[in-house]
Amino acid sequence: MNSLSQLPSVDQILTSSKGKKIEEKYGHNPVVEAIRASLDKARQEHLQQGAAVPDLESILITAEDLLSSWLKPTLFQVLNATGVIVHTNLGRAPLSEGALEAVGEVGSNYSTLEYDLESGGRGSRLIHAESLFQQLLGVESALVVNNNASAVLLMLTVLTRGKKGDYLPIPVS
């Protein structure tokens, strides 16, 4: 009898008490993928090195180790000692305490990001920053973009509108 047939099935592992606990912690799909990867590893080690077929507990330990490594955070705080204040590779500039509090307050609940309370229908996500800039800067209109390339493209589009050789792809009105 082939000893690989002694390996438990994905379903057997998932329905075990420890399998259920791991599934509650990480979610169904990631746990299934980790169990499959653990079983594949066990098969390869057995076929290539003659290793013993692991039991259900060992497979779950390997699966949980995989899940832990897959989901390990990859962003860390660092000290910016480069001399560049707004450093692109270091996340640009840190948010102030006030900004962090505002993000936490609005981001921890549903918000009116694209919802108009007056009409009860879809709103625009652009109006929030635009109205602030109108008040603060006394401008007629404003648009906020999330990167420098977008800002440069919009600026060049406006500055070259109607000029000979206008090659920019979007009209700005």
Q: Give how far Cα 31 sits from Cα of 7, 63, 82, Å.
A: 17, 7, 41
Domain count, the chain: 2
Rg of the chain's alpha carbons, rounded to an integer? 27
Report how far residue 45's alpha carbon sits from residue 161's, in angstroms, rounded to the nearest whole number: 65
Residue from 92, 17, 30, 96 nearest 64 by CA: 30
- Residue that the structure tokens 């707004």 belong to: 86
CA distance 91 to 83: 14
Which of 70, 91, 114 finishes a domain?
70
Last residue of a domain, one of 70, 85, 112: 70
- Give the Cα-Cα-Cα angle 78, 99, 133 (nearest 5 degrees): 125
37-82 confidence digits (pLDDT tens): 999 999 898 888 888 888 899 999 999 999 999 999 999 999 999 9
Domain containing 19 equals: 3-70
Q: What is the pTM of this model?
A: 0.54
Q: What is the pLDDT of residues 13-48, one digit of tens each?
A: 999 999 999 999 999 999 999 999 999 999 898 888
| Final residue of a structural domain among 70, 85, 106 | 70
- Provide the pLDDT for residue 1: 43
Token reading at 156: 């060049």
